[in-house]
Structure 1
Amino acid sequence: MRADRVLAYGATAGLLGDLLLGDPRRGHPVAAFGRAAGSVERLLWRDHRGWGALHTTVCAGGALGAAALASRALRHSPAASVALTAATTWAVLGGTSLGREARAVGSALEAGDLDVARERLPHLCGRDPQALDGPGIARAVVESVAENTSDAVVGALVWGAVGGVPGLVGFRAVNTLDAMVGHKSAKYRRYGWASARLDDVAGWPGARLTAALGVVAGGDPRGALRAWRADASKHPSPNAGPVEASFAGALGVRLGGTLSYGGRVEHRPVLNTEGRTIEVGDIERAVRLSRRVGALALGASVAGRLGAAALRRRTRRRGGAS
């Protein structure tokens, strides 16, 4: 079986597995990688970019190498290759868990229970929940759903289309390292620099595809495209900006504004200034938009892999004929 078909069957099965099963409660491979990366950090940490770059290389390179070896070992067995691709896709995707956590916060807000909503919010993002009221929590959830649609679904599928199982694993490793050490705290400002920059590079194509699919899948394509063009560059993150702006326009709401991370207050520009104030019901709308974007991303990634393979075969035939 050709590699492009392995990706098509395996990634589809993996996405269905995520939709049906979500993340496992225990023994998640990504959590195991995080524990291993934490152990490496305890050995290597210095307040220095070079040591942080070594940490990134050891952890991401190790995960990528292990995935490449596994793929190579199974390359002569189509069934095993499809199974490995499916299992890896299921392990690295997090769309179902993302939607589940977002809806849990939304249900608490609808019930008027701010304490529970604040308790659940850290499952989605690193903001200070005690500093947020109901609308602030709803905005944080929608922004997190938008950004993580790219990080936890689309970006992985894009790199899976490019590099198969190693691409899937490598992207998730880089994204996990960024979440662990890539933030601008005093401890990680230098040590996490390499992980943060590598995540910016790895996340670039998935973020643009997520934003484009948000335009296609949302309820207001013109609004999503307008917000993306007008406001994405105002966001401090080169990848979160396009995604959050596109989702804001597609949902017809305003995102951005003042927020707090670890006691540090940030004043971010408003995305989609023509939108309305966000409401609790927009959380469910954002989750549904995320699901549609994920399904379209699977189709786009598989189509891209099949199309690239067909083009290579056609080029080889023409070269042989000449």
Structure 2
Amino acid sequence: MGLAAGVALDAVFADPRSGAHPVAVFGRAAAAVERRLYDRTRGRGVAHVAACVGAVTVLAVAAERLTRRRPAARVVLTAAATWAVLGGTTLAREGAYMARALESGDLAAARARLPHLCGRDPSALSADELARATVESVAENTSDAVVAPLAWGAVAGVPGLLAYRAINTLDAMVGHRSDRYERFGWAAARLDDVANYVPARITGVLACVLAPLAGGSPAAAAAVLRRDGGRHPSPNSGRCEAAFAGALGVRLGGRNVYGGRVEHRPVMGDGRDPEVGDIARSVRLARAVNLAAAVLAVAGAWALGRRSRRGDGHR
């Protein structure tokens, strides 16, 4: 019930724009810890991750124990935690904003908005390049912002929800291949890879199954996922992007610029390059994947809870 209520809250309210959002508060605290611990060593990075994720997990476990015998309070706690960690509605709104800006020919607005979705340098991107960046970001973040937190919430409750979001936020903050974070951010990046391994593959499968909602074919999407899912530098992002590329009938990947650093990503998919009109299709597919993931998470949590209660009764 708490997971379902949290999904509904995200659909209605999305993320607040103020800095009072729990993830923003965590980010500021993690930055303060980084200032005290930072050094260009993996050991300090491990300590940073352990301190930040450990503190969040301990608080979440304590909150669950306090509500163990209070079902209504547990529902409220789980709903609040689920709302705090989900970003599906905000992701869809950002994609829709990019589509409207590009459809109206307002490149300046689209370039200014792209950093809300990814860290790519938008200053020299054309409309079609902005469209590709948006589709790729929608695909990847469908797993990061929705499927993964719901999966961890179904398996591990409030501690799973909050610990996952802490891990993912740290990866976004320090898990970069830059001079500053090459070693310090290693632990955050690797832990995020582990946390997203299964959810990314669930996202890929769901995108293939739901491909007809974006005008695609499940078989074609699955073929691209099998062939290209492992070509991406990330062990997880490629599964999502390949499935979306196959479902949308487009090619993703290519040259990307991040803060002056150029990366050439392998091409995924067999179709044409993405166009502005493909953004709305990717958002529609993402919304469908989000809803399917929510249904699976709620069903999974119910089944696990029922099994746990039955085991307690046998004891």
The interval holding the TM-score normalised by the smaller chain is: over 0.9
List aligned pairs for 1:15-26, cutoff 5 A: 15-26=7-18
Q: Which amino acid aligns with 2:86?
A: L
Deviation at 1:257, TM superposition (A): 0.9
The SS at the match of 2:229 is helix
State whether residues 131 and 260 of structure 1, in contact with CA within 8 Å, keep that contact through their aligned partners in structure 2: no
Partner of 2:286: 290
Q: Which amino acid aligns with 1:276?
A: R
The SS at the match of 1:258 is strand
* CA deviation map 1:1-46 (0-9, x unaligned): xxxxxxxx11111111111111012210000000000000000000
Q: Which amino acid aligns with 2:12?
A: L
Q: TM-score, normalised by structure 2?
A: 0.95
**What is the rounded CA distance, in whole Å, between the counterparts of 2:151 and 2:67 in structure 1?**
22
Deviation at 1:224, TM superposition (A): 1.1
Task: Give yes or no for the alignment of 1:201 onto 2:194.
Answer: yes
Deviation at 1:180, TM superposition (A): 0.1
Partner of 2:263: 266
Task: Give yes or no for the alignment of 1:226 onto 2:223.
Answer: yes
**What is the rounded CA distance, in whole Å, between the counterparts of 2:198 and 2:230 in structure 1?**
16
Match of 2:304 among 302, 308, 321: 308
Q: Which amino acid aligns with 1:112?
A: G
**What is the rounded CA distance, in whole Å, between the counterparts of 2:163 and 2:307 in structure 1?**
26
State whether residues 142 and 282 of structure 1, in contact with CA within 8 Å, keep that contact through their aligned partners in structure 2: yes
Deviation at 1:105, TM superposition (A): 1.4
**What is the rounded CA distance, in whole Å, between the counterparts of 1:136 and 1:25 in structure 2?**
27
**What is the rounded CA distance, in whole Å, between the counterparts of 2:305 and 2:173 in structure 1?**
36
Match of 1:239 among 226, 236, 241: 236
Tell me how large the CA RMSD over aligned residues is.
1.4
State whether residues 42 and 186 of structure 2, in contact with CA within 8 Å, keep that contact through their aligned partners in structure 1: yes
**What is the rounded CA distance, in whole Å, between the counterparts of 2:286 and 2:179 in structure 1?**
33
Deviation at 1:306, TM superposition (A): 2.7
Q: TM-score, normalised by structure 1?
A: 0.93
Deviation at 1:312, TM superposition (A): 5.2
Partner of 1:70: 63
Partner of 2:2: 10
The SS at the match of 1:284 is helix
Give the length in aligned residue pairs: 310
* CA deviation map 1:282-316 (0-9, x unaligned): 11111111111011001112222333344556677
Match of 1:151 among 144, 156, 163: 144
State whether residues 132 and 273 of structure 2, in contact with CA within 8 Å, keep that contact through their aligned partners in structure 1: no
Task: Give yes or no for the alignment of 1:181 onto 2:174.
Answer: yes
Deviation at 1:132, TM superposition (A): 1.3
**What is the rounded CA distance, in whole Å, between the counterparts of 1:126 and 1:295 in structure 2?**
27
State whether residues 220 and 247 of structure 2, in contact with CA within 8 Å, keep that contact through their aligned partners in structure 1: yes
List aligned pairs for 1:125-164, cutoff 5 A: 125-164=118-157
**What is the rounded CA distance, in whole Å, between the counterparts of 1:129 and 1:99 in structure 2?**
19
Deviation at 1:131, TM superposition (A): 2.9
State whether residues 52 and 166 of structure 2, in contact with CA within 8 Å, keep that contact through their aligned partners in structure 1: yes
Q: Which amino acid aligns with 2:191?
A: L
Residue identity (%): 57
The SS at the match of 2:262 is strand
- Is there any run of 5+ residues in structure 2 with no aligned partner, and where? none
The SS at the match of 1:292 is helix
The SS at the match of 1:269 is strand
- Is there any run of 5+ residues in structure 1 with no aligned partner, and where? 1-8
State whether residues 162 and 305 of structure 1, in contact with CA within 8 Å, keep that contact through their aligned partners in structure 2: yes
**What is the rounded CA distance, in whole Å, between the counterparts of 1:304 and 1:86 in structure 2?**
16
State whether residues 254 and 264 of structure 2, in contact with CA within 8 Å, keep that contact through their aligned partners in structure 1: yes
**What is the rounded CA distance, in whole Å, between the counterparts of 1:35 and 1:314 in structure 2?**
42
**What is the rounded CA distance, in whole Å, between the counterparts of 2:75 and 2:134 in structure 1?**
35
**What is the rounded CA distance, in whole Å, between the counterparts of 2:309 and 2:8 in structure 1?**
30
State whether residues 85 and 164 of structure 1, in contact with CA within 8 Å, keep that contact through their aligned partners in structure 2: yes
Task: Give yes or no for the alignment of 1:171 onto 2:168.
Answer: no
Q: Which amino acid aligns with 1:264?
A: R
